[in-house]
């Protein structure tokens, strides 16, 4: 079964609204989670690294005020797309690492398809 | 055959044939490499991994080859099936640090029945 749960799987919203995406590690604690964005027919691009109890680290070109990340607990990170616009429409995927494992320790959520009208 | 589209290159193979998907990675410090399969609208699915102290690893119907000299990875799928049709990504990471996974550009595998 899934060890990283991501919700919602799909969201359609109007331009200007904010959308929150949740990423939960189900049976392990994740001090660090990663958020990726994927445009159609492209690879996954890292947006930010979410750190429990501290500020997220954003990749170059990713607006921190636009994409708010909160990692308030060891099992939950949230990504809020603020004042969403059509160009924010994309597939957002979170990832978490189970440090107890030696292999196969990186797990991905099922992704969130965001469509901004 | 293989063709390069606007974004993802596509590899078309006949059902039952072997597939070879190639990937160039970027960071010489990366010490852990993973191949993922991604179907439309879903998150990446782990296929096989390899550490930098190895040059080959075999799984069920899949083999990963690592050439550190030229920073090249390949994924070989034996007896390709229609269910193998998906986008395949290689990913690299410096596992010793808690750094994020970096994905390659991806290849779309299309299996012709």
- To the nearest whole Å, the CA of A42 is away from the closest chain B CA by 6
Characterize A10-29 residue by residue with b for buried, 16 or more Cβ atoms within 10 angstroms of its Cβ, and e for exposed. ebebeeeeebebbbbbeebe
* B31-59 per-position pLDDT tens digit: 899 999 999 889 999 999 999 999 999 99
The two three-digit tokens of residue A12, written as one number: 């359609």
- To the nearest whole Å, the CA of B53 is away from the closest chain A CA by 14
Per-residue confidence band for B6, with pLDDT thresholds at 50, 70 and 90? very low
Report the candidate in B34, B9, B64 with the shortest Cα–Cα distance to residue A95.
Answer: B34
What pLDDT score was predicted for residue B4?
40
Would you call A104 and B105 a contact, using CB atoms and an 8 Å cutoff? Answer: no
| Mutation to test the A interface, candidates B40, B44, B94, B99, most A Cβ within 10 Å | B44
Contact in structure between B48 and B90 (CB atoms under 8 Å) = no
Would you call A110 and B43 a contact, using CB atoms and an 8 Å cutoff? Answer: yes
For B15, half-sphere exposure in the C-beta direction (CA atoms, 13 angstrom radius) is: 5
Report the candidate in A9, A1, A3, A25 with the shortest Cα–Cα distance to residue A77.
Answer: A25
- To the nearest whole Å, the CA of B1 is away from the closest chain A CA by 19
Report the candidate in A12, A4, A50 with the shortest Cα–Cα distance to residue A31.
Answer: A50
Task: Nearest by CB to B89, from A43, A111, A113: name it.
Answer: A43
The two three-digit tokens of residue B95, written as one number: 């596992």
Q: Check whether B1 has a pLDDT greater than 80.
A: no
Would you call B103 and A111 a contact, using CB atoms and an 8 Å cutoff? Answer: no
Q: What integer best gives the mean pLDDT of chain A?
A: 92
C-alpha pair distances (Å), A7 with each of A42, A88, A114, B63: 22, 17, 11, 33
Would you call A103 and B49 a contact, using CB atoms and an 8 Å cutoff? Answer: yes
- To the nearest whole Å, the CA of A7 is away from the closest chain B CA by 12
Average pLDDT for B80-97: 89
Q: Check whether A77 has a pLDDT greater than 70.
A: yes
The two three-digit tokens of residue B85, written as one number: 């049709």
C-alpha pair distances (Å), A6 with each of A110, B42, B96: 6, 11, 27
């Amino acid at each position: 079964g899934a060890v990283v749960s991501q919700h919602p799987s799909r969201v359609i919203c109007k331009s200007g609204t904010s959308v929150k995406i949740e990423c939960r590690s189900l049976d392990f604690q994740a001090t660090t989670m990663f958020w990726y964005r994927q445009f159609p027919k492209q690879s996954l691009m890292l947006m930010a690294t979410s750190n429990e109890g501290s500020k997220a680290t954003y990749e170059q070109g990713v607006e921190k005020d636009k994409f708010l990340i909160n990692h308030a607990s060891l099992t939950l990170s949230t990504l809020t797309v603020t004042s969403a616009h059509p160009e924010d429409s994309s597939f957002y995927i979170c990832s978490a690492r189970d440090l107890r494992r030696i292999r196969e320790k990186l797990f991905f959520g099922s992704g969130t398809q965001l469509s901004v009208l | 055959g293989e063709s390069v589209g606007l974004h993802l290159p596509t590899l078309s193979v006949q059902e039952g044939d072997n597939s070879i998907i190639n990937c160039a990675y970027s960071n010489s410090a990366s010490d852990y490499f993973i191949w993922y399969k991604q179907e439309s609208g879903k998150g990446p699915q782990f296929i096989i991994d390899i550490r930098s102290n190895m040059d080959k690893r075999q799984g069920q119907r899949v083999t990963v080859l690592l050439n550190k000299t030229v920073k090249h990875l390949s994924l070989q799928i034996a007896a390709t099936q229609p269910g193998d049709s998906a986008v395949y990504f290689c990913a690299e990471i410096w596992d010793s640090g808690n750094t994020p996974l970096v994905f390659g550009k991806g290849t779309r595998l299309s299996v012709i029945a």
